[in-house]
């Protein structure tokens, strides 16, 4: 975990090498944000390059909380580049600067960040530092002063919006399964066509939960992801306010791992939580 002394941003990230034991969960939290990462609850039974190819991150600043998850394919490198590029770039302004036009300008801001990440992955390929690795990416940004949840996703990682009665995946769109960042043929326009970007009012939302497909992969993850996420957040509410985000993130990873054990087939799982309900630092009007 690190602090940017010039802007009062606190960041945290977990990458593949930070959790490389089957069944174990690594987790960190700060204020209303938390992330968790696991290699999975059982060994992978499909072809893969690295033991853990997922990553998660958060940035907490005076204007908002950013959370992100990435699911690397054909290696962990693309997920690492995605997380690092986001945290060193767009995360700074998104969590510190309050602007009147943020909701209107979000689609362009989000696409700029996605394209920058895509280009960073391609640059590593050209330099010879990276071979064929690519990644999904889901990001969510809670900005209480503007009463908004802004989000963007490429691929099949999830963005769950949770309130006191239900959980639903606002990051779902048809055809997302085979969408990745890092494919040389993609341009700004093709990425715009493949990603889902949106802004919604916070309303009754108590938590935003991101998760890679280790929670949902058929024959590996849980049967009903929305129900599992809702249960994890509901149980976390019983914790102290300070521990609720961490408990939610850890519980989602553990729920995925338990499903992997039942199916005897594992997958990496990364999750990130932006906690909104009952947190004075996340008041919105």
Structural domains for the chain: 2-277 (3.60.40.10)
Q: How far apart are CA 27 and CA 46, in angstroms?
A: 26
> Of 83-97, 127-141, 250-264, which gets the smallest average pLDDT?
127-141
* Residue 127, pLDDT score: 60
Q: What is this structure's pTM?
A: 0.93
Q: Are 83 and 15 in contact (CB under 8 A)?
A: yes
* Residue 285, pLDDT score: 47
Task: Express as a percent the part of the chain with pLDDT over 70.
Answer: 93
- Categorize the per-residue pLDDT at 171 as very low, low, confident or very high, splitting at 50, 70 and 90: very high
Checking if the pLDDT of 143 tops 60, the result is: yes
Please give the residue that has the higher pLDDT: either 214 or 74: 214
Q: Is 273 helix (H, G, I), strand (E, B) or coil?
A: strand
- Categorize the per-residue pLDDT at 241 as very low, low, confident or very high, splitting at 50, 70 and 90: confident
- Categorize the per-residue pLDDT at 174 as very low, low, confident or very high, splitting at 50, 70 and 90: confident
* Residue 5, pLDDT score: 44
Q: How far apart are CA 189 and CA 100, in angstroms?
A: 27
Q: Are 159 and 170 in contact (CB under 8 A)?
A: yes
* Residue 284, pLDDT score: 53
Q: How far apart are CA 278 and CA 219, in angstroms?
A: 36
- Categorize the per-residue pLDDT at 217 as very low, low, confident or very high, splitting at 50, 70 and 90: very high
Q: How far apart are CA 169 and CA 8, in angstroms?
A: 31
* Residue 6, pLDDT score: 47
Average pLDDT over the chain, rounded to an integer: 92
**16-75 pLDDT, tens digit each:** 888 889 999 999 999 999 999 999 999 999 888 889 999 999 999 999 999 999 999 988
Q: Annotate 25-49 with b (16+ C-beta within 10 A) or e (fewer).
A: bbbbbbbbbbbbbbbbbbebeeebe
Checking if the pLDDT of 270 tops 70, the result is: yes
Checking if the pLDDT of 279 tops 70, the result is: no
Checking if the pLDDT of 14 tops 90, the result is: yes
* Residue 282, pLDDT score: 55
* Residue 130, pLDDT score: 58
Q: How far apart are CA 68 and CA 212, in angstroms?
A: 10
Residues 175-183: what's their mean pLDDT?
Answer: 88
């Amino acid at each position: 975990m690190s602090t940017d002394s010039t802007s009062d941003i606190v960041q945290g990230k977990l990458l593949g090498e930070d959790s490389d034991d089957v069944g174990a969960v690594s987790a960190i939290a700060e204020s209303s944000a938390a992330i968790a990462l696991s290699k999975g609850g059982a060994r992978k039974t499909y072809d893969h390059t690295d033991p853990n190819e997922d990553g998660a991150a958060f940035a907490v600043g005076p204007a908002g909380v950013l959370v992100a998850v990435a699911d690397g394919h054909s290696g962990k490198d693309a997920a690492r580049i995605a997380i690092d590029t986001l945290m060193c770039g767009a995360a700074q302004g998104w969590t510190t600067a309050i602007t009147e036009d943020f909701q209107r300008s979000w689609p362009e801001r989000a696409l700029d960040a996605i394209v920058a990440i895509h280009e960073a992955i391609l640059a590593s390929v050209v330099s010879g530092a990276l071979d064929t690795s690519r990644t999904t990416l889901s990001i969510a940004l809670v900005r209480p002063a503007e009463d908004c949840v802004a989000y963007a996703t490429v691929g099949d990682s999830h963005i769950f919006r949770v309130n006191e009665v239900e959980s639903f995946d606002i990051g779902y769109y048809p055809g997302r399964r085979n969408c990745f960042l890092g494919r040389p043929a993609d341009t700004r326009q093709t990425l715009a066509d493949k990603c889902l970007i949106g802004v919604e009012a916070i309303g009754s939302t108590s938590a935003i939960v991101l998760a890679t497909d280790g929670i949902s992969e058929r024959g590996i993850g849980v049967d009903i992801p929305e129900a599992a996420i809702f249960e994890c957040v509901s149980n976390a509410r019983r914790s102290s306010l300070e521990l609720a985000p961490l408990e939610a993130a850890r519980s989602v990873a553990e729920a995925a791992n338990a499903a992997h054990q039942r199916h005897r087939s594992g997958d990496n799982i990364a999750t990130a939580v932006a906690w909104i309900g009952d947190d004075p630092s996340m008041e919105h009007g």
